Structure 1
Amino acid sequence: MAHTIVIFGASGDLTSRKLIPALYRLFQKKRLPVDTQIVGVSRSEYSHDQWREQLTESTAKFVGKGFDSEAWQAFSQQIFYQPGDIQQTEDFQALGEFLKSIEPEGPVDRVYYLSTKPQLYEKAIAQLGASGLNDDSNGERRVIVEKPFGTDLASAKALNHAMHQVFREDQVYRIDHYLGKETVQNLFVLRFANTIFEPLWNHNYIDHVQITVAEEVPVGRRAGYYDTSGVLRDMVQNHLLQLMMITAMEPPARFDADLVRDEKVKVLHSVRPMVGGDFASDSVRGQYEGYLQEEGVPAGSQTASFAAVKLHVDNWRWQGVPFYLRSGKAMSCRTTQIVIHFRDAPHLLLGSKTRVPTANQLVIQVQPAEGIQLHFQTKVPDTELKTKLSSLDFRFQSECGGGAMPDSYQRLLLDALNGDASLFARSDEVELAWGIIDPLIAAWRSPAAPPLQTYPQGEWGPEWCTQWMQQQGRQWFDVCPVLKG
């Protein structure tokens, strides 16, 4: 069956930097469905050839060594451009006529990708409905929505309602590019295809879980947007909660989109609500030194660029095991990692002959050094039972023959074309996530908020966060990934 991908906001950075390169790489790998047309829509006035020419330069830049001029020439003939303004109903009618002119006869599956400002989502959806472009009587119709999906619970519910006026829930694909990363997908395999891990994946053997998404760069040119968002909205509500859900979920009966998402939602239902003093005792907020001098940041801004939050998942598997979610700007390095801290050995058998050993850790590096490390104790050779921490180290890079790891958008775009929603968020999932974060945002704006700690750029966040963890008898895994060239 033929497929058409319509990208709204086609002149934006996401299209040139991620979407077109991902589709081109799928084409190179012969994974893009046959007879796939790509139509860009935005207010800029381009001809088909002008847009193709512009994309040639940007795709070559972002694909790098994998760019092949001959393959691009063949792929670019599938790319078209249609000028259009989301505010203008007649432009959607013109788009419908144009799509008919380039699509073959018979059923055609269409995917509408909203790569626009979030403020335009509802209008774009309404226009697709008013112009009949949601009609699925002659092929499937799906819509991909970029984050942020709302700015709080109320706006997320309103957007879900607007979506459901035009598209069924099974037609809506809310994208979070973290879920397309190879390491995140491999977490399913690591847990559910290996008998050495899943029996230990519970409160009997795990002391706590750390999930860190650290960014090395400051807010920079995004300061105007970021100051209205902050780290809780920008990272915790989506990326970190998604990683927590996959880490904590129960195994589904089979790998089916609805069943997988059912189990993820159960995790959010099990998160213990914060009340009273929990907001101050179970969270740390910080702001890097120099944030107030960033262009677009108002004087005296209290927006947090760093957050550490302790959550409890009150179910049988995770009772008593805290999940520590941490994210920040201008930190020591760029890394996304999930660290499973196992419990200490119940008895120090070797007594005074060895130093107190560090508990076992399973480190899942999501990016940039995608891989898995298992830390365990071994004897130092030629000593009297002295121990050291050793590791088994698996790197995805070596499995790719040293080549580039596939971009997450390749996986997600292909899944959307094939109608597989396993790695996309469902409406109830989004609303439950906002229901966890909204009270924290409100508390951080109240007189009862924990103090806004400052931290130097290039560190792992506020010093108080380290002390906060030590007071609980634990330590952060503050290790930058080793990048092997």
Structure 2
Amino acid sequence: MAEHVNPLRDPTDRRLPRIAGPCSLILFGVTGDLAKKKLIPAVYDLANRGLLPPGFALVGFARADFKDSSFADMIKQAAQDGARTPWSETVWKQLAAGIRFVPGEFDDDDAWDRLADTMKDLDEQQGTGGNHAFYLSIPPGLFPVVVSQIKKHGLAESSKGWRRVVIEKPFGHDLASAVELNRMVGDVFSRESVFRIDHYLGKETVQNILAFRFANGMFEPIWNNHYVDHVQITMAEDIGIGSRAGYYDSIGAARDVIQNHLLQLMALIAMEEPVSFNASSLRLEKQKILANARPPARMDLHTAQAQYVAGWAGGEKVRGYLEEDGVHEDSRAETYAAIRVDVSTRRWAGVPFYLRTGKRLGRRVTEVAVVFKRAPHQPFNKNDVEELGQNALVMRIQPDEGVTLRFGAKVPGTTMEIRDVNMDFAYGGAFVESSPEAYERLILDVLLGDPPLFPQHEEVELSWKILDPVIAHWKQDKDIDTYQAGTWGPPSADAMMARDGRTWRRP
């Protein structure tokens, strides 16, 4: 069965699984949505795949008043609700033996002393060997107090084993705050012990970009400005902000998605071939792209921001952003953002990258579309090719993961009529292995100390250098554009593309 096939194999021998050694994962914010819906199910699935050792422990730190047993019940329910592998009481009993809970506020020194005692007990009773990873599944504003408490109580240091910290995005809210955050974390943890989570980089389909480009000989020769007209990178959601008004109102779509997910996808598409796929080589090539990427010279012409207003989504009437619970009536937070980015390298000079993201759009989809130039000469009548568009290679990140190649083909008949057709590859139809959830791969990599999929602080800061000028320009605008829920964005985004003689793809 597919669920028994292990997709997280040892890269040095694909027959062997990559199994973590004895260690603990200490979850701050363990009662939050991310922990319940993603992190806890991922931990259970790793255990069920046989990738966590008997000496693994899961420690929750929160102000809730749990006993270890009631906390374990909460963990069990979250795992059962979100697990992708079949439920096994045997696996659960092994996992439950290492579950602990530490109650307290983040500024409560007594609670941190209890955490230190719990870690010592786990080393002795569970055999974690001094190996502990701190996962900060908390709002960014709480990072400073948690990191400072880790330092104050000496939890980042150990005479044996390792200590690591995992930080969820966003990494700051601008360049200055990102630099300060990196400085603060760097004062406590060594560079190789800091893991910045961008869960998109853990997706199999994102990693397949590297395989697609560098394992095949047919595409790389045309992967340049001689053949590529432009690239569109889209992350669209059909849902609204839900219960995230407090977070979203202070962040907006550009900071939430473009600064991390979309710029990372752009770097993977545009990077040169690394000398190897180790962490340092991959980062070096991505950093070169981000260092040579520029926001548009005319922000008013090649950026767009907007908020959704009431409309129809999924056959239901939905509220506009300003009508959502918890949103200020004068909020300027954008729920849609689009920017043009130019990469000043020999390969990509003159090829614009268009990045867009939004809430309440036509459907949920994340994709990268590489759109090619038209053939320099077409020996056909104009009527023969009036329905022929540009060739495009589309990598679908989610859902319906796969790759589509669009090209022209003759319509059967007595006339030379050419139309666009699609050649499609779907992950689900090609592989029997079950694809691990992104957080499975990333948590396992943290426990193994394997860093290729985690951006270092240089990448974070370079991304903010691209986005900060755009945010500054938008703050000067008196008005913000709007679009109806269920549509594909505002008129300003269409106008942005029209100025370049292009149109957005309809995913």
Q: Same fold (TM over 0.5)?
A: yes
Among 209, 219, 222, the alignment partner of 1:187 is: 209
- Aligned partners of 2:96 and 2:142: how far apart in 1? 28
- Indicate if the aligned counterparts of 2:129 and 2:160 stay in contact, CA closer than 8 A: yes
Cα deviations by residue, 1:302-334 (Å, 9 ceiling, x for unpaired): 322111101100011110000000011110011
Gaps of 5+ in 2: 1-20, 310-319
- Aligned partners of 1:359 and 1:273: how far apart in 2? 25
Among 334, 358, 367, the alignment partner of 2:389 is: 358
- Indicate if the aligned counterparts of 1:183 and 1:371 stay in contact, CA closer than 8 A: yes
Among 329, 344, 348, the alignment partner of 1:314 is: 344
SS at match of 2:268: helix
Question: Which residue of structure 2 aligns with residue 329 of structure 1?
Answer: 359
Cα deviations by residue, 1:209-236 (Å, 9 ceiling, x for unpaired): 0000111111232223212211111111
- Aligned partners of 1:435 and 1:138: how far apart in 2? 39
1:279 has 2:307 as partner:
no
Which residue type is aligned with residue 24 of structure 2? Answer: T
1:397 has 2:419 as partner:
no
Cα deviations by residue, 1:232-255 (Å, 9 ceiling, x for unpaired): 111111111111111111111101
Question: Which residue of structure 2 aligns with residue 68 of structure 1?
Answer: 88
1:455 has 2:475 as partner:
no
Aligned length: 474
Question: Which residue of structure 1 aligns with residue 242 of structure 2?
Answer: 220
- Aligned partners of 1:396 and 1:416: how far apart in 2? 26
- Aligned partners of 2:379 and 2:158: how far apart in 1? 67
Among 193, 196, 200, the alignment partner of 2:218 is: 196
Question: Which residue of structure 2 aligns with residue 165 of structure 1?
Answer: 187
- Aligned partners of 2:253 and 2:382: how far apart in 1? 45
Which residue type is aligned with residue 239 of structure 1? Answer: H
Question: Which residue of structure 2 aligns with residue 125 of structure 1?
Answer: 147
Which residue type is aligned with residue 183 of structure 2? Answer: H
Question: Which residue of structure 1 aligns with residue 6 of structure 2?
Answer: none
Question: Which residue of structure 2 aligns with residue 140 of structure 1?
Answer: 162
Among 487, 493, 500, the alignment partner of 1:465 is: 493
Distance 1:126 1:199, change over 3 A: same
TM-score, length of structure 2 as denominator length? 0.89
Per-residue deviation, 1:108: 3.5
Give the stretch that moved more between structures: 160-169 or 348-357: 348-357
Among 311, 316, 329, the alignment partner of 1:299 is: 329
- Indicate if the aligned counterparts of 1:353 and 1:384 stay in contact, CA closer than 8 A: no
- Indicate if the aligned counterparts of 2:102 and 2:111 stay in contact, CA closer than 8 A: no
- Aligned partners of 2:255 and 2:444: how far apart in 1? 27
Question: Which residue of structure 1 aligns with residue 18 of structure 2?
Answer: none
Among 263, 282, 288, the alignment partner of 2:285 is: 263
Question: Which residue of structure 1 aligns with residue 57 of structure 2?
Answer: 37
Question: Which residue of structure 1 aligns with residue 453 of structure 2?
Answer: 423
- Indicate if the aligned counterparts of 2:102 and 2:115 stay in contact, CA closer than 8 A: yes
Among 151, 171, 194, the alignment partner of 1:149 is: 171
Distance 1:399 1:34, change over 3 A: farther
SS at match of 1:66: coil
Correspondence 1:78-89 to 2 at 5 A: 78-89=98-109
Question: Which residue of structure 2 aligns with residue 14 of structure 1?
Answer: 34
Cα deviations by residue, 1:263-314 (Å, 9 ceiling, x for unpaired): 1111111012544xx1101101111112222222222333221111011000
- Aligned partners of 2:222 and 2:55: how far apart in 1? 47
- Aligned partners of 1:395 and 1:362: how far apart in 2? 14
Per-residue deviation, 1:89: 2.4
1:56 has 2:91 as partner:
no
1:26 has 2:46 as partner:
yes
Which residue type is aligned with residue 372 of structure 2? Answer: F
Among 89, 93, 101, the alignment partner of 2:121 is: 101
Give the stretch that moved more between structures: 19-28 or 217-226: 217-226
Distance 1:296 1:106, change over 3 A: closer
Question: Which residue of structure 2 aligns with residue 386 of structure 1?
Answer: 417
Per-residue deviation, 1:400: 4.8
- Indicate if the aligned counterparts of 1:224 and 1:295 stay in contact, CA closer than 8 A: no
Question: Which residue of structure 2 aligns with residue 482 of structure 1?
Answer: none
SS at match of 1:166: coil
Which residue type is aligned with residue 457 of structure 2? Answer: S
Question: Which residue of structure 2 aligns with residue 208 of structure 1?
Answer: 230
Distance 1:168 1:75, change over 3 A: same
- Aligned partners of 1:314 and 1:373: how far apart in 2? 28
Give the stretch that moved more between structures: 363-372 or 41-50: 41-50
- Indicate if the aligned counterparts of 1:106 and 1:138 stay in contact, CA closer than 8 A: no
Question: Which residue of structure 2 aligns with residue 408 of structure 1?
Answer: 438
Per-residue deviation, 1:464: 3.5
Question: Once the two structures are aligned, what percentage of the paired residues are identical?
Answer: 40
SS at match of 2:420: strand
Which residue type is aligned with residue 336 of structure 1? Answer: T
Gaps of 5+ in 1: 480-485
SS at match of 2:294: coil
- Aligned partners of 2:192 and 2:151: how far apart in 1? 16
- Aligned partners of 1:106 and 1:83: how far apart in 2? 21
- Aligned partners of 1:445 and 1:398: how far apart in 2? 47
Question: Which residue of structure 2 aligns with residue 339 of structure 1?
Answer: 369
- Aligned partners of 2:128 and 2:482: how far apart in 1? 61
SS at match of 2:476: coil
Distance 1:332 1:241, change over 3 A: same
- Indicate if the aligned counterparts of 2:394 and 2:405 stay in contact, CA closer than 8 A: yes
TM-score, length of structure 1 as denominator length? 0.93
SS at match of 1:297: coil
- Aligned partners of 2:383 and 2:33: how far apart in 1? 59
